[in-house]
A and B are shown apart, each in its own frame.
Chain A
Amino acid sequence: GAGVSQSPSNKVTEKGKDVELRCDPISGHTALYWYRQRLGQGLEFLIYFQGNSAPDKSGLPSDRFSAERTGESVSTLTIQRTQQEDSAVYLCASSDPGVNTEAFFGQGTRLTVV
Chain B
Amino acid sequence: RKEVEQDPGPFNVPEGATVAFNCTYSNSASQSFFWYRQDCRKEPKLLMSVYSSGNEDGRFTAQLNRASQYISLLIRDSKLSDSATYLCAVNKGSSYKLIFGSGTRLLVRP
Interface residues of chain A, those whose CB is within 8 Å of chain B, are 31, 33, 35, 41-43, 45, 48, 50, 55-56, 91, 93, 95, 97, 100-108
For the complex, give the distance between the alpha carbons of A45 and B103 in Å. Answer: 14
For the complex, give the distance between the alpha carbons of A102 and B8 in Å. Answer: 22
| Contact B96 A105, beta carbon cutoff 8 Å | no
Q: A43-B44, A106-B43, A108-B43 known; A101 and B100 CB under 8 Å? A: no
B46: contacting residue among A55, A102, A107, CB under 8 A? A102
A104: contacting residue among B8, B32, B46, B103, CB under 8 A? B46
| Contact B49 A102, beta carbon cutoff 8 Å | yes
Interface residues of chain B, those whose CB is within 8 Å of chain A, are 8, 32, 34, 42-46, 49, 87, 89, 91, 95-103
Q: A100-B32, A102-B32 known; A45 and B99 CB under 8 Å? A: yes
| Contact B44 A105, beta carbon cutoff 8 Å | yes
A48, A101, A105, A108: most-surrounded residue (chain B CB, <10 A): A101
Add 20 more A-B contacts to A43-B100, A95-B96 (CB < 8 A): A41-B102, A43-B44, A43-B102, A50-B96, A56-B97, A91-B43, A91-B44, A95-B98, A100-B32, A100-B49, A101-B91, A101-B96, A101-B98, A102-B32, A102-B49, A103-B46, A105-B44, A106-B43, A107-B42, A107-B43
| Contact B43 A31, beta carbon cutoff 8 Å | no
| Contact A42 B98, beta carbon cutoff 8 Å | no
